[in-house]
A and B are shown apart, each in its own frame.
Chain A
Amino acid sequence: MFGDYSISDLGAILAMQGFAGLILFSVYVLMALGLAIIFGQMGVINMAHGEFMILGAYVTWMTSNTVQHIAPWLFPGYFFIAMILAFIASGALGMLVEWALIRHLYKRPLDTLLATWGLSLILQQAYRSIFGAREVGVELPEWMMGSWQATDSIQIPINGMFVMALTILITIAVAYVLFWSSWGKQVRAVVQNRVMAGAVGINTEKVDRYTFALGCGIAGVAGSAFTMIGSTGPTAGQLYIVDTFLVVVFGGAASLFGTIASAFSISQTQSTLEFFLSGSMAKVITLLTIVAILMVRPQGLFALKVRK
């Protein structure tokens, strides 16, 4: 099948294909990090995760429109403001939801599934009422839309690199917060033994609320970033939720490292297969492989050692 192409063509394609896989990897990590915190650390099955992402996307859209009207000179850099606002908006909504809904359900993880699923329907309808049923497109500054000409035949999309850089930054920040800050130690203590953590003076309620808010905030940033590659509509969040859970469960729920490893293996498999087969077929084979591996290793790639 490669007979018709020159060696340099093939080299260029391999390079770009590898990069396509890396972009997909970044997208998966970005989608799954927030969920990995909420699901992995707190045991809450958050079916509304996609809607938190879409909130971030809508905030980005609104910021884009506002900046264009009020301060057009700011437009080239508005995206950074939008991401911060998206984090704040989704985080704040997360905090509210934790207070109103989730905290009553910590002892009943399966009920969180139902409650958050209901929440996702409510949010979808709210978006539809507020922003309308049609999809909205976020206009990007010109510099973010182009591609970087690495060689004659290799072009690397700038928005792809942007997503990758963002993913690296957020991953490092999350790792720092969870593993090195004192608050992170409190989070992990609460996860491992809630009663004991409370007994040594940790305010477990506060830890829960901020952890949930952090997870939702990251979802908001992810949604903001996805406006570069996808569409924003009331139900667009549904598209992400399955892939997101797939990545988290395959990686081993409680392990952040597992999430990254799982995102990497899924994206590379998908991207390689896509090159040899069609898009739909690649997805099917990827899913079948994951199912097979999970049958052998139900705890996912990396399981946290917890004393039961």
Chain B
Amino acid sequence: MSDETKPGLQSPLRRKLLMGMAALPAVSMLGRPAFADVPATSAVNTTGLAVTDSEVTVGILHSVTGTMAISETGSVEAEKLAIEQINAAGGVLGRKIKFIQEDGASDWPTFAEKAKKLLVNDKCAAVMGCWTSASRKAVLPVFEQYNGMLYYPTFYEGLEQSKNVIYTGQEATQQIIAGLDWVNKTKGAKSFYLLGSDYIWPRTSNKIARKHIENHLQGCKVVGEEYFPLGSTQFNSVINKIKLTKPDVIYAIIVGGSNVAFYKQLKAAGIDLSKQTLLTISVTEDEIDGIGGENIAGAYACMKYFQSLDNPNNKAFVPAFKKMWGEKTVIGDVTQAAYLGPWLWKLTVEKAGSFDIDKIAAASPGVEFKGAPEGYVRIHENHHLWSKTRVGRAKADGQYELIYETADLVEPDPFPKGYQ
């Protein structure tokens, strides 16, 4: 790719190259394990990122204060674990990962400002971060303008694709359509009541769900659709409506603390989730912690990862996570997706043989991570992941029991035709 380098950059490049080569023997004399295959910094970093001969800096950008801290804490923990493991295994291209953590404080302008800081001042080679769609939308122009790389972990509504983002969670069609097909086929469900918190993700997801139910499932219909303000704690009225309409499936995309109120009131109103099918795409093991397993036992969740998954990768991942962050921690879908970020980045850097953002963006499609706790993932041309969709049933101990998984990886399709 040296033919693409602008002539003006050649002399500093050569100087860096010489300095890098001069530094190598000196470093190896200090007793640092000399990796024969460690390439010179000037060769793997032509754009001035924070990469030295021994270190590479990445950013972690999540909310550790404010209302989103509850959800994002798990992501931070998973990313730190992945970084530690990668370092223990020799780092990336022979360089240890150092991270700079910034707090988005659950505030979208702050996210944008901190993203700029990580890219412009700290020259981070990659950033793992964001949770809500609102924060992602706020940092997206920053990543595109300053050419950074964001690894975004949350399942989200789709309708987005960027050269500067790798989406390690599922987009809407991967999560919704497979789940609805499953409930239609195995439970014979014909009528659906759609519920959600009132913002972009639940509304878009329910829009896709409604289209799928009405256009693609034979004889199925939506008998109700309702939204509640974020943080709402009163669901008695809608529960009465559910009793009146007697839907085969309650399809719930309520987020955060509202879930606690919803499931407690559902139980108190005499709706038994072992008889009434409820399918959610928003309650992970993290949320169950707050809801209480006994209140949600019997509900089905459709996502790509459960802590209880029985595979060798996950059996190594769960104890490692608990060892680092405490026995009592639980691991939800997003936490696992956040864990994928640093690993996918490492694999991509090694495939590209460079830290340069453009080369990483170009090398990403096709990158496989065989050690993923969810099993195996691969990056698609559209920068989303091929992944399996799974359905789990909540148990009273706060864990999900795997009920169903797709036979093959589901292709990500952030811009589904006929669903917009």
Contacts and interface: CB of A to CB of B under 8 A. Distances in A.
Contacts of B231: 236, 238-239
A135 B285 CA distance: 12
A134 B398 CA distance: 15
Given A133-B69, A231-B290, A157 B265 contact: yes
B229 A283 contact: yes
Interface in B182-231: 198, 225-229, 231
A226 B257 CA distance: 12
Contact of A136 (B227, B265, B269, B290): B290
Contacts of B66: 235
Nearest to B106: A235
Interface string A248-285: 00000000000000000000001100110011101100
Given A134-B73, A135-B70, A231-B260, A280 B198 contact: yes
B257 A137 contact: no
Contact of B265 (A128, A153, A229, A271): A229
Interface of B is mostly: helix
Interface in A116-132: 125, 128, 132
B237 A230 contact: no
B244 interface: yes
A279 B261 CA distance: 14
A137 B240 contact: no
A189 interface: no
Contacts of B240: 13, 16-17, 20, 275
A66 interface: no
A233 B257 contact: yes
Given A230-B261, A233-B70, A280-B198, A137 B237 contact: no
Interface string B220-252: 000001111101111111111101100000000
A146 interface: yes
A134 B70 contact: yes
Nearest to B330: A134
B289 interface: yes
A5 B223 CA distance: 13
Interface string B281-316: 000001001111011000000000000000000000
B395 interface: no
Contacts of B64: 133
A155 interface: yes
A149 interface: yes
A9 B261 contact: no
Given A24-B236, A275-B237, A279-B238, A231 B270 contact: no
B137 interface: no
Contacts of B256: 231
Given A135-B289, A279-B228, A147 B269 contact: yes
Nearest to B241: A275
B375 to A, nearest CB: 27
Contacts of B236: 16, 19-20, 23-24, 157, 160, 271
Contacts of B225: 278
26 contacts: A5-B244, A16-B243, A17-B237, A19-B236, A20-B237, A27-B234, A133-B69, A145-B264, A145-B268, A145-B294, A147-B270, A157-B236, A231-B233, A231-B256, A231-B261, A232-B290, A233-B257, A233-B290, A236-B231, A236-B257, A238-B67, A275-B237, A279-B226, A279-B238, A280-B227, A282-B237
Interface of B: 64-67, 69-70, 73, 198, 225-229, 231-241, 243-244, 256-261, 264-265, 267-270, 286, 289-292, 294-295
Given A139-B294, A278-B228, A279-B237, 8 more contacts: A13-B240, A16-B243, A137-B260, A137-B289, A145-B294, A229-B234, A231-B258, A239-B257
